[in-house]
Structure 1
Amino acid sequence: MSSPAPQLQRRNVEVFDSGGAVIAGFWQYGTLQWDEFYKYLVPFIIASTDWSIFRYRPNRHQRGVLCPPGTGIVKPGYYILLSTTGEPTRVGLKSIPLLVRPPGSNTPPTPSHEPHYGIRARTRDGQCLVTGVTTQSICRLGVAHIFPRIYDTEWTHKGYPSKITDQADEASMGGSLKIDSVQNLITLRYDLRCAWDNYEFGIDPNNNYRITAFLNGNADCNGLHLKLDHIHDPTLRPLDELFTEHLMQCLFKFVIGPVEREWSWDECEVALDAFDLSDTGVWGTREGKELLEVMLADRLFDHRLSQLIPDDTSRTIS
């Protein structure tokens, strides 16, 4: 019987508060600068004073040198968040709704089962927008939503349908929701599509669409820039706001707070296909129940969407 594959170390940078709790962290590939790290933390940190980050030796509870915002690279290691004068400060973390996505399958769809929106995205791009690999093979390129399609209520609440300028007929964009528009789609190498759905890397539209990975195992995409120069028609170009939304989800899931459990496809999809929900260690937890709801919503979404799209083939009999 083969032994399970070794688990990758999830983080090599961690930040503590003065009480010893882990409040942030990520995997440093040698590219993330201090000014970027501060920028990522600011939306989520609630502190009783102005704050800064210092080097830290947790085994001795000893504060080290100040690490101010700047172009210096964050070195792997331990840090502590304190007041700007180096004194303890109360720290809280803001929460945002995590738009959990179904775990990405490792099995590409067959051409006859490719989602309707995938054909338009693949035609527009013809390449992985991260690596530049050019192919029309459905086995090598996957199509990912920037904003997850099962959260249509949140999509509508944020006003995204009115921001989509795609001129395609509504039926090909998911009806009046327009959540399946190519402006909410990117084409990625299949393994990167899975990592995208899991929020393992994000894209900063305000930094030349640079890609930052926050989890170990994504060195091949970290530091690259999303390739969008081939999209000349603005009505086909992905919306910057959607990339920012996805980036915030990445930060909330993998940077803010302690390390989150990583769900495997085997635990989820295989168990659901076999109706084997007996593992209470997986499905009895709050996270397991939440993920089960998401997976069921994903499977039923197309059926629910079909109820919102008028049937153009219907005829009125006089």
Structure 2
Amino acid sequence: MSVTDEDTWCDTHIYASESGDTMLGGLWASEGMTNANLYSMLEIFCFFTDTFHLHDNRKQLVRRDEQQLQPGNYFCCSVSVTDEVPLICAISLPSGTRVASFRDAVLQRDRRCVITGRQAIFAHVGRWRGFEATHIFPLAYERQWNDCNYSHLITIPPTNESHGSINSVQNGIMLTWEMHQFFASYELSINPDDNYKIVCFAPDFTEYHIAGSHLDQTFTDNPLRPPDGLLRWHFRQAVLVNMRGAGEPTFEHDFPAGSDVMGEIMRGPKAGERMEFELFSRFNAMGITPVGG
């Protein structure tokens, strides 16, 4: 398992003043990332005392428009950074009675990866190899889901309401296993406030040609689809994780066969949070309430 720091591959940095002595954060200026997108993402993790403007290295005003964001340094004034802590995420495929109907409902609704458009060509015979039903709001954080009343966004409860509103089909999307890894680790997200644009926060997506594309309208028109509020939550987490400061560590999840998975996690960064995530994912899938949950 390896861990990388987003700042090692960021090609765009944002500073709090023209002196460049206080870095607010950075990102990878991926395809489809616009100047307007940068403004709106800054508003997620920064507080401004007044209307703010961005300037580039030449001290030229960067307009809030749909022009492609160019790599480089950007500067703004009268700003402070939020101390909001994002919920870390890691790959988990919980299996259990509480998630079985969730998985079936998501796969049957989408029948293709909503990010890449790749179809499950054998869906008619119940063969879903290579595809996974992915929670948007992770199952491991069901306590936070309940505490913050995210269930108010759900209009279609699971068939068995005892499985919890977090397992509604509306809290899931079907992805290929690769896209699941990227989505669950916040390396890509969907911005519902920009015509459901797919936003990539890492330079790993060139071969997929998805950065800056938009979700298919047949998906966005589906009354069973995720509500904007949940997609907005995930996008906010992705911005906090990837853009603020030097970014959060990015975890690799491809453990070779025979690996000491728990040992690898405990030797890595944020071991306690990751272990809690893994345990809560599995307990919640089986309907067991963890101590402190």
* TM-score tier after normalising by the smaller chain length: 0.7 to 0.9
Match status 1:184 vs 2:171: yes
* Unmatched tracts of structure 2, length 5 or more: none
Q: Which residue of 1 aligns with 2:23?
A: 22
Percent identity over paired residues: 23
Q: Distance in 2 between matches of 1:30 and 1:156?
A: 36
Q: Which residue of 1 aligns with 2:11?
A: 12
Match status 1:55 vs 2:44: no
Count how many residue pairs are aligned between Structure 1 and Structure 2: 277
Residue 213 of structure 2 aligns with an amino acid whose one-letter code is L
What does the per-residue CA deviation read over 1:9-60, in whole Å, with 9 as the maximum and x for residues that have no partner? 531111122362321211112321112210111132124554322223xxxx
Q: Distance in 2 between matches of 1:253 and 1:215?
A: 12
What does the per-residue CA deviation read over 1:45-77, in whole Å, with 9 as the maximum and x for residues that have no partner? 124554322223xxxxxx632213222222111
**Which TM-score applies when normalising by structure 2?**
0.81
Of 96, 113, 126, the match for 1:128: 113
Of 214, 223, 240, the match for 1:225: 214
Residue 299 of structure 1 aligns with an amino acid whose one-letter code is R
Q: Distance in 2 between matches of 1:278 and 1:132?
A: 36
When residues 95 and 270 of structure 1 are mapped into structure 2, their CA distance, relative to the original with a 3 A threshold, is farther
Q: Distance in 1 between matches of 2:276 and 2:5?
A: 27
Quote how far apart the aligned CAs of 1:128 are: 0.8
Q: Distance in 2 between matches of 1:75 and 1:194?
A: 27
- Secondary structure of 2:134's match? strand
Of 84, 87, 90, the match for 1:99: 87
Q: Which residue of 2 aligns with 1:293?
A: 276
Quote how far apart the aligned CAs of 1:204 are: 1.8
Pairing of 1:133-172 with structure 2 (within 5 A): 133-135=118-120, 136=123, 137-166=127-156, 168-171=158-161
Bigger radius of gyration among the two: 1
Q: Which residue of 1 aligns with 2:239?
A: 251
What does the per-residue CA deviation read over 1:178-228, in whole Å, with 9 as the maximum and x for residues that have no partner? 111111010011100110101111112232211111222123221222235
When residues 97 and 170 of structure 1 are mapped into structure 2, their CA distance, relative to the original with a 3 A threshold, is farther
Q: Which residue of 2 aligns with 1:80?
A: 75
When residues 267 and 25 of structure 1 are mapped into structure 2, their CA distance, relative to the original with a 3 A threshold, is farther
**Greater helix percent: which structure?**
2
Q: Distance in 1 between matches of 2:266 and 2:170?
A: 40
- Secondary structure of 2:140's match? coil
Q: Which residue of 1 aligns with 2:249?
A: 261
- Contact kept in structure 1, 2:265 and 2:271, CA below 8 Å: no
**Which TM-score applies when normalising by structure 1?**
0.75
